[in-house]
Amino acid sequence: MTTPAEAPLEAPTIPYVDPVRRARARARGRRDGLIASVSTVVVFAILAYLITSSPGWPKVQETFFNVDEAISAWPSLIKAFVLNIKIFLVAEFFILILSLLIALGRGLRAPVALPVRILSTVYVDFFRGVPTILVILLLGFGVPALQLKGVTNSPVVWGTVALILSYTAYVAEVYRAGIESIHPSQRAAARSLGLSSVQTTRYVVLPQAVRRVVPPLLNDFIALQKETALVSLLGPIEVLRSAQIDASANFNYTAYVVAALLFVAITLPLTRFTDWLQRRDTRRRMAGAM
């Protein structure tokens, strides 16, 4: 037995496995892999055959999956998609900050902070209940119609503001769930060590809470990416509107399919990233239990 100081840290975490069992496990793994591939290929082949051999398929292919249409629609779609990305990035930045403030406001327990709590609660209740589409129309057409001096009437700006208002309410609730999931003993322990209430929130509660809610946060942002299309109600040509223009000029829906692929193309990395974060988090939290 070596002394603890000399023991390599990794050594005890590699469990001893009987070589025979290991070989068996490997064989089973190969067989499972084979069955999985065969079943996947068969199922997809049958699906593909069923769809492409159906009587209406040539017409559907012509209307939804037309390569020439896709190529001719591509330049205007990609140009319009830049607007979606811009709206998304700006909105996400403000949402992250504002919703955290709202969530903290709702969590205030000091008697003097009651008005803040009431306001935050009313805000969340209201904007979660009202359809985003109404907020967009109200701000996008309503505010400019007031003809206030010095206030922009840009539909893109007001559409983005509406998205921020609406999504801040959702994201604030995600944050709040995270904050409330932190066990009160954490706060009590931090206070007993002499940290102030603000310091406790900042250094003990929030870091744990935010880590916990990263997957649902990303989920909301993926939804937000798609909701940017609602801004088109106010006139700006974003990718779905661009697809609609193309579709109605040519009586062909292919442009919608291309627009959908563009959305998938940017949400996929984000989805995979969320999965990875979740796995890493689980691994870390389980590390002590192993």
Partner 1 sequence: MRRSFLLSAAIPAVAAMALAGCASEADTTASSASPSPSTSQDCSPETMQTLTPGTLTIGTDTPAYPPYFEDDDPTNGKGFESAVAYAVADQLGFSNDQVTWVTVPFNKSYAPGDKDFDFDINQISITAKRQKAVDFSDGYYTVNQAVVALKDSPIADATTLTELRESKLGAQVGTTSLDFITNDIQPTQEPLVYNDTNDAKSALEAGQIDGIVVDLPTAYYVTAVEFDNAKIVGQFPAQDGDEQFGLLMAKGSPLVTCVNQALTALKDSGELQSIQDEWLVGKDAPYFTE
User: What residue ranges bind partner 1 (CB under 8 A)?
Assistant: 35, 39, 42-43, 46, 49-50, 53-56, 59-60, 62-64, 141, 144-145, 147, 153-155, 232-237, 241, 244-245, 247-253
Give CA angle at 94 (88, 98), nearest 5°. Answer: 140
| Residue 115 or 142 with smaller CB distance to partner 1 | 142
Tokens in use for 206?
């929030």
The nearer residue to partner 1, 59 or 202, going by C-beta atoms, is: 59
Instruction: Give min distance, CB of 46 to partner 1, in A.
Output: 5
Closest approach, Cβ 153 to partner 1, in A, equals 5
Nearer to partner 1, 179 or 259 (CB): 259
Q: Minimal distance in Å, beta carbon 29 to partner 1?
A: 15
Distances (CA, A) of 248 to 64, 71, 110, 243: 13, 16, 58, 9
Nearer to partner 1, 37 or 282 (CB): 37
What is the smallest separation between the CB atom of 77 and partner 1, expressed in angstroms? 14
Residues with Cβ within 8 Å of residue 267, at least 6 apart in sequence: 222, 225, 226
Sign of CA dihedral 34, 37, 40, 46: negative
CB of 49 to partner 1, least distance (A): 7
What is d(CA 162, CA 76) in angstroms, rounded to the nearest whole number? 25
Q: Judge whether 229 and 240 are in contact, CB under 8 Å.
A: yes
Of the two residues 137 and 222, which places its CB atom closer to partner 1 in the complex?
137
- Compute the distance between CA of residue 69 and CA of residue 114 in angstroms, rounded to an integer: 58
The residue among 136 and 213 lying less far from partner 1, judged by its C-beta, is: 136
Residue 195 C-beta: closest distance to partner 1, Å: 51
Task: Kindly write down the DSSP assignment for every residue of 103-166, as one continuous string.
Answer: HHHHH---GGGHHHHHHHHHHHHHHHHS-HHHHHHIIIIIHHHT--TT----HHHHHHHHHHHH
Between residues 210 and 233, which has the closer beta carbon with respect to partner 1?
233
Q: Shortest approach of partner 1 to residue 222 CB, angstroms?
A: 25
In degrees and rounded to multiples of 5, residue 143 shows phi and psi of: -65, -45
The CA-atom distances, in angstroms, between 166 and each of 55, 113, 136, 172, 219 are: 45, 24, 9, 10, 15
Nearer to partner 1, 161 or 190 (CB): 161
What CA–CA distance (Å, rounded) separates 244 from 41? 35
Residue type, 54: S
Give me the least distance between CB of 168 and partner 1, in Å please.
Answer: 25
